[in-house]
Structure 1
């Protein structure tokens, strides 16, 4: 298995697309074990896509793209400007609030970072923000997006680990508030040092707040509808994905009336590309996962960690550190797919809560999207803003520290993660 891991790393280093790197290195395992039928990787690849719960992924991706084309994004931007315009940092704080509001729309940190860079990037630089600071804010603020339902990472983790997706969705709200507070503090600290002015100097009137809320209420209610539908047993996770698509179309056609034939076709084309890349990655990961299970890699890693400590918090910190380092080189979605079967059994053996662990694990994996050398959100933002990676890296350090501190804090206070799931779905 060591040779397979080395092959995977080498393929990534030479620029091989991640899905192919996983599939080819996984196939190498079967070449090294000729006693195994070579029909197994083919069967595993096909059967991996037959999991009914995974149907939620393409449906939520389509719903997110439809919502972005329906006019919801513009309404949320207006709401964010009203709510955060007076905070130190101006548009930087607006970007942070917008990411939180967008959590129930796109579900993807990369999509959110790219969208906000096009909407706010140039305006932020015109107000005197440096390119590095602008890129860092727009990138790291999107860490809120996958933590608020319906995050795609929750669906993948829940499906692979047989964890309640409804409880995972509910677990994201309190951590998202903590992340917002930590990043807002980091922005305010930098803004004070550099003299970045607020976007507005007067308090918004009740009329302004009411108007902005009316415009954004349909997007804000979306994650609420998801959780209520799951809690009441009206929908399964897959069925609620279909509801999300219908909801997005209805909002675009009947409420905002901005969804037309052209926008609909663009949303469908974008969804086909997004779904293809994600599902191809999930399918080929089955080849790699087979070798991991057969070689008892989870058991070996568990024994190694338990040799250091049997304390649940210590083990979770070790896993958190490992995922943060691995995220420097491997995409967050890949980490969730590859590491869930390895680490989740260990957490269960130590009587840890899989929802608590899942939230911390997904947050740590998501951070990899914002760090060099392979952060997808980082590259999306820097390419749009034409920002040098060095400037981005230097000015993003306060944001990296802020989100890492929150992740570490959540390890020791599982009650904050489980507060909303237990209130909605009851205790374990």
Structure 2
């Protein structure tokens, strides 16, 4: 076990791509332990042989198609309409947009980058500091970790053999609650920094105006509802829902909004190949590493350590979330799902916690890792777009991080807030 962990920490510290870090560390264990290398190769192949996991590449492709087919622009227009008389209105657009885009992109990093590119220049013109712009656009994208179809929830369901349909339904209330928390934080911080005061000369939102805008964006808003209803009534499986998402995006982009062309279709396809290639390489090479972790009984050791502290379900959950928050600062979110789900899921079920409840909490806290230093991918993506120093981002992100952690703490003690919709749709377990 020592060699496995030493290789993992050493290569991670050297800045090696995470796929090769876990791949080489796993291979080093097999060599040192005298295990047949044929098993390592088999684990690499077996890790990607899952019908359920087909949902991930399909949803990535669907999200990229929606970004080039006019759906994103319609959602942006709706977000502008809803926030035009709020304090920090342009920053509020980012939070509302992330809520609406959660049912489209499913990827926090992609959502953060897209919103920073769209809203960043306008926010700079209005006097927002670069660090604040990056903080609000980056952390608001965390809402996509729970609003279906979340890629994190799909991976958690795939690894932990938990119903993806129930996970999708369970993410709705936490996603909306996070929207409320982040909008309140945006309002308070905008007032403190005197950013973007409300424009009272703009007319109040009317039902007629809202109805006209909803008529244009309804196809995007219906998408997550169709997914959950379709899975609930057996119209399609979670994997098939990904394929449906692709077809839905093409039909809406081509025949409803009429903005999908061969050129941007190919652009979305190429982007999806790149995104899927990076994710699938991590997933495949995590096979030997996960197998090695099981052989050295790391889950058993960690379980004994945590249960030695307390057997209170809520305190155990808070300890595990704290551990996931720290590991998320250093390890890619997909790797955390792949390696830590098999460790923590048996522990939470042992104390009587619903795996769907834990899955939503884990998806949120693990995805938060891509937004925190020192190696957060979303952090460096948004900072690179408008040339913002990471330390300035870190300063302005603290109130938003505090709001997210407070919301998670509340959800730990209010499981029915998470389980209400899945129990209503799929029945109580």
TM range (shorter): over 0.9
Say whether the 8 Å CA contact 1:382–1:389 is kept in structure 2: yes
- 1:223-372 matched pairs, under 5 angstroms: 223-372=224-373
How far off is 1:251 after superposition?
A: 0.4
How far off is 1:198 after superposition?
A: 4.2
The equivalent of 2:409 in structure 1 is 408
How far off is 1:303 after superposition?
A: 1.1
1:22 equivalent in alignment to 2:25 = no
Say whether the 8 Å CA contact 2:71–2:220 is kept in structure 1: yes
Q: Secondary structure at the match of 2:308?
A: helix
Say whether the 8 Å CA contact 1:85–1:198 is kept in structure 2: no
Q: Secondary structure at the match of 1:250?
A: helix
> Could you list the runs of 5+ residues in structure 1 that have no partner in the other structure?
none
What are the superposed Cα offsets for residues 266-321 of structure 1, whole Å, 9 maximum, x if unpaired? 00000000111111111111110001111111111111111111111111011011
Whole-Å separation in 2 of the counterparts to 1:287 and 1:314: 32
The equivalent of 2:81 in structure 1 is 82
Whole-Å separation in 2 of the counterparts to 1:241 and 1:3: 39
1:183 equivalent in alignment to 2:182 = yes
The equivalent of 2:218 in structure 1 is 217
Whole-Å separation in 2 of the counterparts to 1:6 and 1:353: 34
The equivalent of 2:420 in structure 1 is 419
The equivalent of 1:37 in structure 2 is 36
Whole-Å separation in 2 of the counterparts to 1:397 and 1:162: 35
Whole-Å separation in 1 of the counterparts to 2:185 and 2:333: 24
Whole-Å separation in 2 of the counterparts to 1:115 and 1:48: 31
Whole-Å separation in 1 of the counterparts to 2:198 and 2:279: 38
The equivalent of 1:165 in structure 2 is 164
Whole-Å separation in 2 of the counterparts to 1:290 and 1:276: 22
Whole-Å separation in 2 of the counterparts to 1:378 and 1:304: 32
1:105 equivalent in alignment to 2:104 = yes
Q: Secondary structure at the match of 1:396?
A: helix
Say whether the 8 Å CA contact 1:370–1:377 is kept in structure 2: yes
The equivalent of 1:205 in structure 2 is 206
Whole-Å separation in 2 of the counterparts to 1:134 and 1:114: 12
1:91 equivalent in alignment to 2:90 = yes
The equivalent of 1:123 in structure 2 is 122
Q: Secondary structure at the match of 2:142?
A: helix
How far off is 1:77 after superposition?
A: 0.3
Of 296-305 and 67-76, deviating more is: 296-305
- Superposed CA RMSD: 1.0
How far off is 1:373 after superposition?
A: 0.7
- 1:128-167 matched pairs, under 5 angstroms: 128-167=127-166
> Could you list the runs of 5+ residues in structure 2 that have no partner in the other structure?
none
Whole-Å separation in 2 of the counterparts to 1:205 and 1:359: 35
How far off is 1:38 after superposition?
A: 0.8
How far off is 1:133 after superposition?
A: 0.6
How far off is 1:3 after superposition?
A: 2.3
Q: Secondary structure at the match of 2:141?
A: helix
How far off is 1:210 after superposition?
A: 1.6
How far off is 1:192 after superposition?
A: 1.1
Say whether the 8 Å CA contact 2:303–2:347 is kept in structure 1: yes
Say whether the 8 Å CA contact 1:91–1:198 is kept in structure 2: no
Say whether the 8 Å CA contact 2:90–2:196 is kept in structure 1: no
Whole-Å separation in 2 of the counterparts to 1:251 and 1:208: 23
Q: Secondary structure at the match of 1:308?
A: coil
Give the TM-score taking structure 2 as reference length.
0.98
Say whether the 8 Å CA contact 2:99–2:175 is kept in structure 1: yes
Whole-Å separation in 1 of the counterparts to 2:250 and 2:302: 46
Q: Secondary structure at the match of 2:375?
A: coil
Whole-Å separation in 1 of the counterparts to 2:12 and 2:251: 42
Whole-Å separation in 2 of the counterparts to 1:323 and 1:251: 38
How far off is 1:215 after superposition?
A: 1.6
Say whether the 8 Å CA contact 1:309–1:315 is kept in structure 2: yes
Whole-Å separation in 2 of the counterparts to 1:140 and 1:197: 19
Say whether the 8 Å CA contact 2:23–2:289 is kept in structure 1: yes
Whole-Å separation in 1 of the counterparts to 2:198 and 2:278: 38
Whole-Å separation in 1 of the counterparts to 2:199 and 2:57: 40
